[in-house]
Chains A and B, each alone.
Chain A
Amino acid sequence: MQIFAYIVNKDGKADDTALELALAAKKLDSDAQVTAIVAGSGIDNVCQEVSAAYNEIWKIDNAALSYPDGEIMGKILPKLLPDNAVLLLAHEYLAMDMAPGVAIRSDSAYIADITDIEGMDGTTGKFVRQEFSGMVSTHNTCDLSNGAVITVRPGVFASEEKPSVGGSVVDKSGDIEIPETNRKYLETVEAEVGDVDISTSEVLVSVGRGIEEEDNIDMVKDLAEAMGVDYSCSRPIVDAKWMEKSRQVGTSGKTVKPKIYMAMGISGAFQHLGGIKGSPFMIAINKNPKAPIFQVADIGVEGDVLDIIPDLTEKIQEIKG
């Protein structure tokens, strides 16, 4: 099997997922020759960085690729890859832009956001995914015989392992043409800075959909105030405009690294958990005993945050006098 991995790179550095994709490729086929594809402008350092984990590195250096654009790469990759290639990408915002289209344009199979690989049966791969916001998992088969595009959930193949494959860099810059596209990248607008930088908070009281109504948000602010700590939230709270975006924890919001994280009425979708680093001590309160948050929390309470938060606030206020 010929396996390729698309390397996300930014500011002259490979993303953490570069190594994870190499490990995923080995789990799919331990004998596979795995090729990294590094595209961008001025990417020699990135190529060197990933050479430890890959047998070969295809360098595509072109000024037009200085910003990684899914519409452009999505048209380059199907022409660049050999027939029946298996392409791995990290399941994040660039892959969501281009990976399904690459599968269609190269007439290969597609499987998204895999969380594990259980091996091969002939030319069929067996994969684990999650559905319904992580509440259930599924085993899936994917026919790889005519090639495939597979997106891999970031973090699931993370390892402390330091590979030493030492692959060589092959300059493929001359093998591609920059395609015409009807989408033009303009700029990246940086996130607004809020009144509090939750990425430095030591303790976070974080609230999710379980708070039910905007009027109940004050309850959370009161608890945080009583504890003397900061408050934050999950995505639905920002979508509903009940808190500012700068207080959202998750891959599309802030990455936080507190010592204690209280997940109040948060189910624990992977996009949320992806924004919590440094393994904090986690307390989760949720009405649904099957919520995925209980799998990662240290302490769990099956219950309604609307009942527990006011009593908890009162008790803490009592202690502090």
Chain B
Amino acid sequence: MSKSQRQRTQVSGKTDVGHGLLPQLLPWLLPLLILLAWELGARTGKLSSHILPEPLAVVKAAWQLIQSGEMWADVKVSAWRAVTGLLVGGSLGLVLGLATGLFKRVDAVLDSTIQMLRNIPVLATIPLVILWFGIDESAKLFLVALGVFFPIYINTYHGIRSVDRGLIEMARSYGLSGWPLYRHVILPGALPSMLVGLRFGLGLMWVTLIVAETISAQAGIGYMTMNAREFLQTDIVLVGILLYALLGKLADLLAKWLERVLLRWHPAYQTGAAS
């Protein structure tokens, strides 16, 4: 690559990744090197398999779990818990956030109470939740729903409160009021903030689910990893951790895609670049 070419790539930056393979491969170089060093360390015996199994063993374990159908069964259970918790907590957060954001009276009655409650870490309530629900499904769903509720509530509320007053005034002077005003002005104006809430909620969804499943479960990814820990199967534990990472990334991608579709009008998304 000549000097002038290199300069051009630098100037054009992220928008011009199509030219040349090197800029595309560069970010993968370090992970590959780490993986290689890890494999070497495990093979020469410098790295005990109780601490970290060799990468190939992890791949093999994953393959076995897929073939036996165990992985699919566990992922299905975990995903079901995550989605149900998200739907329950998310819709409650959305409805209450809309109510307090739109109506002064609801705001006066509810908001300060919710703001107080949200300072309690969700995970700190686990002993109480176990006392209430025991260790069955409802305890896990409750925890996930609680974790998702607050970020979605807060960002919905804040989104509605921060809709540009000038736009509301303009819309009213053009004869909009009631539902059309909500539909055309207030709700779309609150949408960016609501989507931020969804992304926060998705992150917390996985965190609370992992903790809940690790404490007590008869199925799910958490159960799989805790079971493997009993038998010192570090490779399966690693598979579980990687699965959580993968599912978390998937949820984040989904949220980003949703943002890109719903916020097409936003200058930040017009070139297709996510913020």
Bind each other = no
